Homo-oligomer: A and B are copies of this chain.
Amino acid sequence: MSLTDPDRLFPIDDALRGLSRAIYDTIKDLPILSPHGHCDPQWFAKNERFPNPAELFVIPDHYVFRMLVSQGVPMDDLGIPRIDGGAVEQDPRKIWHLFAKHFNLFRGTPSGLWLNHSFEHVFGFLEPLTPDNADEYYDHIDQTLAMDQFRPRAMFDRFKIDCLATTEGALDNLQWHKMIHDSDWQGRVITTYRSDAVVDPEFEGFVQNIAQFGELTGEDIASYDGYLNAHRARRAFFRSHGATATDHGHPTARTEDLPHTEAAALYAKAISGQITASEADAFRGQMLTEMARMSVEDGMTMQIHAGSTRNHSAQVFASHGRDKGFDIPRRTDFVDALKPMLDAVGMERDLNILLFTLDETTYGRELAPLAGAYPALKLGPAWWFFDSPEGMRRFRQLTTETCGFYNTAGFNDDTRAFCSIPARHDVARRTDAAYLSELVATGRLEENDAFEVAQSLTTDLVKSAYKL
């Protein structure tokens, strides 16, 4: 018995499965490049043990707990911290039991695949989690986490992670990255410049954030030029802590390339706290173009993660705050939205702008045609809800014919669930191997080219997209 099928995600036909496996075998043990994600750098700085199974698998992972919530399990019973001071379950074992009781909800989901992968390959379980063996699972995981070789740094090495990028806000002091760098541990953990809190006038605390931004950089943030220089300064600071990329999580992909005086006027309104919703949207759009220009200057890769309606439930946002599983994708336009930025910098050959979408209809209609024309554009991998076997398959089927493989950027796990990292990369490698084998078997790709492409998707394209 086993929790993971050795041939999982491969095609069913024998010959095809054999070719998929052969391709996969050449990439399965390659080191992991994780150029975008949300792991906590503190884990690797302090290297303390992970506290308990519930805190490792349930509480921090909105992929997991929202599924239980959707079936009527109260968030409070799952120990999800409230921001309104209300009490939540504190006993991790009780939370774990609730999780085990509802584990059937993950049938057919990528979370199910990732969890079982971790249970088997990190913790050695061979029987599925059930209410009956929940305590056995809990105790064994907890004991394992107590071992030094399962502390964060050891786990990082065990997972063969070559490079892991975390994501920090523009105001972050990057102390944990410094601590990691100053330590005797050799693991490569780098940061990413995420500027939303000082770019989006509708972000909580924007005005105060800008004030702090000025203090940190010594720039005159009363002026637009000073504000842009503050970004330049912080980008340089982030680069000095390993960052090779920036990240922009905007509700839409809108860009603008306004005359300087108009942009400055919008900025003045923004920092006065007197900006309308539509002006705020324009300002965010302007800042994408400014960030792209700075990327031309400093060589940082620019990631645009567009199209999430954050905090859809007013009730959950009020009680539990951000990132609680109630972020819902929305229809996203890229064609008109990106034009101002692309007219400014789209033909730049040394610029990498990576596009991510939650609207799969844009893969074939907008993103692949854009990336298949503009030198500055590449496509990030299938994201979030679509970081899944079917999602990755649709991504390849809908983009390859128009923009090929070489305008894509390999895989990102984009996760805060550390143990899921090897599982997610494994899903991507298997799914790519399966896709490539089908192209070969249907006469659309030479067999030896398939092996070469598999290497590129796993390693080379990630390195070039992120300049690692």
**Interface of A toward B, CB cutoff 8 Å:** 4-5, 7-13, 15-16, 66-67, 69-72, 104-110, 112-113, 128, 309, 312-316, 325-331, 333, 335-336, 339, 342-343, 346-347, 349, 358-361, 364-366, 368-375, 377, 385-386, 388-391, 397-398, 400-407, 438-439, 441-446, 449, 453
Q: Which of B343, B401, B406, B446 contacts A388 (CB 8 A)?
A: B401
Chain B, residue nearest A439 (CB): B108
Q: Give Cα distance in the complex from A365 to B69, angstroms.
A: 19
Q: Which of B13, B105, B366 contacts A329 (CB 8 A)?
A: B366
Contacts of A439 in B (CB 8 A): 108
Q: Which of B112, B309, B335 contacts A330 (CB 8 A)?
A: B335
Q: How many chain copies?
A: 3
Asked, given contacts A8-B444, A404-B105, A404-B107, whether A364 binds B360 with beta carbons under 8 Å apart, the answer is yes
Q: Give Cα distance in the complex from A371 to B70, angstroms.
A: 7
- What are 14 A-B pairs at a CB distance below 8 A? A5-B442, A7-B443, A8-B443, A70-B372, A110-B401, A112-B444, A309-B335, A309-B336, A313-B374, A329-B369, A361-B365, A368-B385, A385-B402, A390-B397
Asked, given contacts A342-B313, A372-B67, whether A385 binds B401 with beta carbons under 8 Å apart, the answer is yes
Cβ–Cβ contact A70 & B407, under 8 A: yes
Chain B, residue nearest A15 (CB): B12
Asked, given contacts A312-B335, A403-B70, whether A13 binds B13 with beta carbons under 8 Å apart, the answer is yes
Asked, given contacts A385-B402, A401-B391, whether A108 binds B66 with beta carbons under 8 Å apart, the answer is no
Q: Give Cα distance in the complex from A331 to B358, angstroms.
A: 16
Contacts of A15 in B (CB 8 A): 12
Chain B, residue nearest A449 (CB): B107
Chain B, residue nearest A11 (CB): B12
Q: Which of B69, B71, B443 contacts A406 (CB 8 A)?
A: B71
Contacts of A329 in B (CB 8 A): 335, 365-366, 369
With a 10 A CB-CB cut-off, give which of A69, A329, A360, A405 has the most chain B CB atoms: A329
A108 to chain B, nearest CB (A): 4
Contacts of A112 in B (CB 8 A): 444
Asked, given contacts A67-B372, A315-B343, whether A366 binds B401 with beta carbons under 8 Å apart, the answer is no
